[in-house]
Structure 1
């Protein structure tokens, strides 16, 4: 079996080696290690492989905590020390900025750290009925597969949700819609745990009674979702407190529905907002836009600093939620929210927002290239804070800001929003030269 010397990790957390001039991407291998590997995909210029045996281990290798690691696609870096994980992600960010964007930050911000385990307050669990393999499976997909892992626990989910998984399987196995229930969405806050059962066929009275009994026994709220996200509703309307998370540093509380987008890691979210506000430095009298604002995660802390905020979001439902959150927090006088497709942004649409002194951008993985290209003579904020969940699109957009629009990349750094995975969350500050 061939042996490779691992040179680095790629953006997916795979070990990178070169054997006879060909790049080899090896799952489960770490920099500095000698590993025996087995290729599962071979192309003329590269191979993808699995680690079969570690011949010489890295000092940063640790024993994975989860028994499903290596099979489950939920985590890819449990074999690497958590502090080293953040360093790898910082390198991925800097490499993307340099190689894709042709830019370098003047300052590299310290990594934002939080709990390494039990951090995931939001999750979407897949459900499959597999009679040939023991019945119902509830969990994450296997690596490189549409199969669902036979999970009985999960080390990144909250402890009570992890402990619930075997009983959740039993519940679903007893429903009439077992083979027509593709997923369960999980939302956890300090006051409530909600499970949303997506079903493709109507539930029977027995199904609803089973779900209600399960919810009572587990101390959770059961919701059902027969169609799109707007069809989700509590099985028992008076089932308990609503979902909300607090940002104590800014005296803000945000209410949300279990199908709304919120960050999966409340600890890192709070620290990320703190750093964003430090970099943005909102002040009374300023007018600041929060693009891709969601339900007001950054908008309300900005407004708490005294600035007027214009929040733009593509989802009408989230815009309505943002307005209501602003009202409940006494910030409706400093905020205005609008629904618009920011992927179609133009100079005219940005100019229509009025004067903007500063800008915060928090786009999905696709990035915000239309927005940064639309910045022109009529709209050139002095400072832009860009929160990203994809280093590649951040780097692409940074190239536009620096090389075409006259901005300077003052600093950039990562936030370890998803420990044990290769996902890179980051933040960057741009200022007009």
Structure 2
């Protein structure tokens, strides 16, 4: 294909510049909005083309030099070449477009975005491992961008510095084990007192391997967890480490223990800010009865219990609700909290009525959203409805769908919505929305 000049209009969530040629969308790798670039079309489809940028003719004022030397090769980040506040603006536009086009709703007010650290924020990560003899041993890191190979990285700017500093020692460790080709991944979970590394191993570890893991753990303040097959095989290398991993919520005086496989937020700083913001937007009063739906480990439930009269946390995983109740007892909140295990993707209005009336409801679903919950809330009679709903989302599309249900079928008002930059330099959009009856 020949080189062509493209004027870039906007950006998609894979950080590809969007241009148009004779009415057809062209995604231009590496280009930013407002730029004029020279690019070559490399793939053509019926509805769009993909082009590779060769040269920038007119750069964007928001273009920055990526701090990471592996940017563009490693698939861990997509937007390091775009100034962080501009990344947030892109995500805000994605949220507003989704609400308008999918939900046919508009918030009365756009919330200021929630910002946090742009680097060193990623306290959860799944690192791929591959033993490559031609590269001199094991590779440990993220997969290459648009590829299945493990990127050959020696540091990572989005991981906490102490985890980044472990990448090369981990390569050496894997290479020294008895079967270095049988370790597909290492999951990282950074806690307040220790860092847990969950090693997936396809072959039994030898006694010598165990010695090496313990030596590495002692040197780097790491607690090792092992997984030989499915999730049910996950266990700590040393039983005494089973409760070592936890994160703190200082504003509420809480310490939340968890396992490396439990869902927790990647960005601890933003999580703390988000909890405070959500509770503030929910406007919880001391006499309120509150529901926390998709409650997980009680990330919102326990902070809510500090302020409300009572909180009911509901989650699909019994393991998580048991752990949440244990944390509630540990903090003396057991009389104000109750947890139930239920598939929230299959609920109806009668189930909701049977729970009794709630003054406030917080919803924090996975990417699939909370369609059944939204329909149940929308079907309540006006006197039965919670006065306020705060919906925390990791998918603008499903948030928009559920917002449309609450507004058009339930008569709720969408008071406000905004983005949370939980994952800087990536296309992931976290958001929050507030509804009033």
TM range (shorter): over 0.9
Q: In the alignment, does 2:54 pair up with 1:52?
A: yes
Whether the 8 Å contact between 2:5 and 2:38 is mirrored in structure 1 is yes
In structure 1, the residue matched to 2:361 is 359
Match in the other structure for 1:108: 110
CA contact (8 A) 1:282 1:307 kept: no
Deviation at 1:241, TM superposition (A): 7.0
Choose from 393, 401, 410 the match for 1:396. Answer: 401
Structure 1 match to 2:411: 406
The answer for the alignment partner of 1:304 in structure 2 is: 306
Residues 342 and 371, structure 1, Cα contact 8 Å, conserved in 2? yes
Structure 2 counterpart of 1:377 = 380
CA gap of 1:254–1:240, structure 2 versus 1, over 3 A, is closer
Is residue 129–residue 137 contact of structure 1 (8 Å, CA) maintained in 2?
yes
Give the structure 2 partner of residue 99 of structure 1: 101
Give the 3-state SS of the residue equivalent to 2:326 in structure 1: helix
- Residue 159 of structure 2 is matched in structure 1 by 157
Instruction: Return the alpha-carbon distance in structure 2 between the equivalents of residues 51 and 289 of structure 1.
Output: 50
User: 1:39 and 1:316, CA in 2 relative to 1: closer, same or farther beyond 3 A?
Assistant: farther
> In the alignment, does 2:327 pair up with 1:322?
no
1:276-323 deviation digits (Å, cap 9, x = unpaired): 011111222221110110100000111100231111111111111110
Equivalent residue number for residue 81 of structure 2: 79
Residue 397 of structure 1: how far off its partner (Å): 0.9
C-alpha distance in 1, partners of 2:75/2:405? 34
Q: Is the Cα–Cα contact under 8 Å of residues 8 and 35 in structure 2 kept in the other structure? A: yes
CA offset at residue 83 of structure 1?
Answer: 1.3
- Following superposition, the deviation at residue 140 of structure 1 comes to 0.8
Structure 2 residues not aligned, in runs of 5+: none
- C-alpha contact 1:118 1:159 (8 A) present in aligned 2: yes
Answer whether contact 2:393 2:399 (CA < 8 A) is retained.
Answer: yes
Aligned to 1:245: 247
Looking at structure 1, the residues matched to 391 and 332 of structure 2 have their Cα atoms a distance apart, in angstroms, of 26
Q: What is the Cα deviation at residue 150 of structure 1?
A: 1.0
Q: Which residue of 1 aligns with 2:234?
A: 232
Counterpart for residue 273 of structure 1? 275
Following superposition, the deviation at residue 239 of structure 1 comes to: 5.1
Q: Which stretch of structure 1 is more off in the superposition, 382-391 or 223-232?
A: 223-232
Count of residue pairs brought into register by the alignment: 432
1:223-274 C-alpha deviation (Å, 9 max, x unpaired): 2112333422222234597111111212222111111110011110011111
CA RMSD of aligned residues (A): 1.5
Partner of 1:260: 262
Give yes or no for contact 1:141–1:147 (8 Å, CA) kept in 2.
yes
Distance in 2 between the 1:389 and 1:167 partners?
34
- Give the alignment of 1:143-154 within 5 angstroms: 143-154=145-156
TM-score, structure 1 length as denominator? Answer: 0.96
Aligned to 2:127: 125
Given the two structures, how large is their TM-score scaled by the length of structure 2?
Answer: 0.95
8 A Cα contact 1:346 1:371, kept in partner: yes
> Is the 8 Å Cα contact of residues 243 and 257 (structure 2) preserved in structure 1?
no
Distance 2:241 2:346 in 1: 41
